[in-house]
A and B are shown apart, each in its own frame.
Chain A
Amino acid sequence: MEGARKIWPIIGGSFLEPVGLPVSHLRGINRHEFLVFRRNDAIFLSSQLRAVHLNFTSELKNMFVSRFYRLGSYAVQRLVKAPVFRRHSVLPAIHHQYLQTQCGIGYQRDELFSTAAAKLDSNEGNETEQKINVTFVDKDGEEVNIKVPVGMSMLEAAHENDLDLEGACEASLACSTCHVIVMDMSQYNKIPDPTDEENDMLDLAFGLTETSRLGCQIIAARELDGIRLAVPSATRNFAVDGYKPKPH
């Protein structure tokens, strides 16, 4: 590297291997004060560094940028992994805007790449999945149409669309708070029969009807496209033995 000088400082009795830097191109600081070295897995920046005004030529900028990008993101990763272990990297508070933003951007870039990749995957997934139309009707008669992917339960679909359907036991068949009424008998018949366990919970549901089901047990399937589900006016959790509700 043109203009680079190898410096072999000894700090704390251990050899430090310098990361070659075009030191001669740095202006406005004492060269001996600004050293970047690497010891084992730690990156140390000289603590005597004060506000540094770095003036780069365009051809050196990329090299310097990429090096600091690597150092910065490496240092930040170590910080995140082992913040209290002294031997590991401690990037001291350097009051240099450029370096800080570089580290920050480096970290963010990694994140950006990773989230973009994840989003790409999920988008592809949605396009190949089948969705059916489901209409939820609340106690005031207001209707909400949502699209539910095949295989998802009605309770989960309601939660994804911020609809007011409680699932106190989180779909473990231990309550009746996700009770819904299938508005059409022919649609009700298309849903597989309830198990004994579901019937046990439906026994306790408020406002039970002939076409009542638990929302967590209705799984979206292609033949249920266009299903209309009414949400009852109230639900009951923790019923007392023998309690008989009075109609509202």
Chain B
Amino acid sequence: MVILGKLKFLSRSFAALSSAPLRICIVGSAPAGFYTAEKAHEGVEVDILDRLPTPFGLVRSGVAPDHPETKVVINQFSRVAQNERCSFYGNISLGSSISLVELREMYNAVVLSYGAESDRSIGIHGEDLAGIHAAREIVWWYNGHQDCRNLTPDLKSSDTAVILGQGNVALDVARVLLRPTTELARTDIACHALAALEGSSIRRVFLVGRRGPVQAAWTAKELREILGIKDLDIHIQQADLVTTPADEIEMKNNRIRKRVYELLSKAANPGTSPLCNQRELHFVFFHRPEKFLELDDKSGHLAGVRLEKTILKGDDGQMKQVAVGTGVYEDISCGQVLWNSDSTEEH
């Protein structure tokens, strides 16, 4: 009888344990957070937090407005959120609205999937001049992110913008600056950005990278798109397209690099005569920024950027080539510099 009583007590306590559902908190409602929520098993309750009032993170604020197909995944995430086991809480900032300790007390598990939002300092003299922005800020600005609503980049004082960095974000920014505004008007670009771009005087964009076309981080689809923009003059130096044996090895191992290089080679034609008001895109390889130049009137405004020519030296350990300065300098005068912080590569 006693044993039976004890068994009953045990089974009841186990039942109580198993009947309470597992509760998980996911901090950050971008794709990482939603994919995690999607993979959660039956019976697990998921709460997704975000510091913004709206979910989806980079899908909403990072994907360029003229790439609506990439944003289609929002449908999949919405289906996850509509599940009764899943709840979304916006406007909650981890650290200020609620602490991690409190979350760990309330939930069985806490998943931190809030990404990396802040920029590394570029570490170059003159980076405080007006007219220098992190590319992330410009992307947030034209996507209507609430943190960069009032950025108001100056697109009227000059006809040249320099973008430091050669990845897909650099191509996105270049494309938004150079695309005809009639095309942009059909996208979900933020209204304040469209108005600013309609009044913009930017006609030349330089894409500057410290290494060569084989090492550039962008991918074929985005490159193909920007090379195909109507009425856009593409400038690529033939000298930059010369490959070394180390480059050949890199291309052999990496299908993307090979296809990107082929695209750039095809686009480097001898150059047509520039028409009036034609927009230009210049690919500048093997140059890294040395310092930013200030306007002569010392008003704190950007006048240009001084670039140092580089050559590549193979890093025997990783089969990766790094850029090394040569002491040869070149200036580009411009009114805007947009720099891309590289989160995966080392400088």
Chain A interfacial positions (CB closer than 8 Å to B): 166, 168-170, 172-175, 196-197, 199-201, 203-204, 208, 237-238, 240-243
Contact = CB atoms under 8 A, between A and B. Distances in A.
A109 to B, nearest CB: 33
Interface string B143-162: 00000000000000000000
B167 interface: yes
Contacts of B217: 241-242
A208 B254 CA distance: 11
29 contacts: A168-B72, A168-B76, A169-B69, A169-B70, A169-B73, A172-B69, A172-B72, A174-B67, A174-B72, A196-B220, A196-B224, A197-B221, A199-B220, A200-B220, A200-B221, A203-B256, A203-B259, A204-B219, A237-B35, A237-B73, A238-B31, A241-B167, A241-B168, A241-B169, A241-B218, A241-B219, A242-B217, A242-B344, A243-B344
A181 B287 CA distance: 41
Contacts of B11: none
B75 interface: yes
Contacts, number: 57
Contact of B73 (A168, A196, A200, A243): A168
Contacts of A243: 344
A31 B69 CA distance: 67
Given A238-B31, A240-B344, A173 B218 contact: no
Contact of A174 (B70, B75, B256): B70
Nearest to A167: B76
Given A200-B219, A203-B256, A169 B343 contact: no
A203 B58 contact: no
B73 A203 contact: no
A199 B259 CA distance: 10
Which residue, of A197, A201, A238, has the highest number of chain B Cβ atoms within 10 A? Answer: A238
A195 to B, nearest CB: 11
Given A238-B58, A241-B219, A203 B72 contact: no
Consensus secondary structure, chain B interface: helix
Contacts of B316: none
Interface string B73-104: 10110000000000000000000000000000
Contacts of A237: 31, 35, 73
A243 B217 CA distance: 9
A169 B343 CA distance: 25
A175 B74 CA distance: 13
A242 B167 contact: yes
Interface string B176-188: 0000000000000
Interface of B: 31, 35, 58, 67, 69-70, 72-73, 75-76, 167-169, 217-221, 224, 255-256, 259, 343-345
Contacts of B58: 238
A21 B35 CA distance: 64
B343 A240 contact: yes
Given A196-B224, A197-B221, A200-B221, A241 B69 contact: no
B181 to A, nearest CB: 24
A201 B259 CA distance: 12
Contact of B224 (A173, A200, A238): A200
Contacts of B70: 169, 174-175
Nearest to B32: A238
A242 to B, nearest CB: 4
B194 to A, nearest CB: 23
Nearest to A239: B219
Contacts of B224: 196, 200
Given A166-B76, A200-B224, 18 more contacts: A168-B72, A168-B76, A169-B69, A175-B70, A196-B220, A196-B224, A197-B221, A200-B219, A200-B221, A200-B259, A201-B221, A203-B220, A208-B255, A241-B167, A241-B344, A242-B167, A242-B217, A243-B344
A208 B58 CA distance: 26
Contacts of A200: 219-221, 224, 259
Contacts of B344: 240-243
A174 B167 contact: no
Contacts of A169: 69-70, 72-73
A175 B255 contact: no
Contacts of B31: 237-238
Contact of A203 (B35, B168, B219): B219
